[in-house]
Amino acid sequence: MNIVKKNDLSPLESKHGEIIYELIGRAGGETTERHSIAHVVIPPGKSSRFHFHPEAEESYYMISGQARFVLVGESTIIGPGHTVLIPPNKSHQIINIGSEDLEFLAICVPAWEPANSIYLDDLE
């Protein structure tokens, strides 16, 4: 049995401010093929890039902080205890609008890999 601790992992850090600890998946942590789980941290004032996943269905489970979540142009505020479902091919973005780190779990089926993220600013 393998147990993964977030603090034992080297995070992936994006230029936009996301800090991603892949707990289970293809890019780090415990290796799996069918799904992935990442603990994502976004500092105040930072966000993910607007993107979509051609194959993966994704869910976010909010742990702490406040966020503006945008899904295909529709926007709402989410916080601790909220869960959102992101179907494949639906563009989305999450923005930290609070004064503390935004933390959430991102679960993807099939397991996330870099080729399964299409960034809208790359298409312009």
Is the bond into 110 cis (omega within 30 degrees of 0)? Answer: yes
What class does CATH assign to 24-123?
Answer: mainly beta
pLDDT value, residue 28: 66
Which residue intervals of the chain are DSSP H helices? 120-123
- Range 6-11 average pLDDT: 90
Instruction: Tell me the CA distances in angstroms from 88 to 1, 15, 63, 74, 110, one per residue in order.
Output: 31, 24, 23, 16, 10
pLDDT in tens, 72-121: 989 999 999 999 999 999 999 999 999 999 999 999 999 988 888 898 88
Dihedrals φ, ψ of 59, to 5°? -130, 145
- Lookup: tokens for 108: 């993807």
Mean pLDDT of the chain: 92
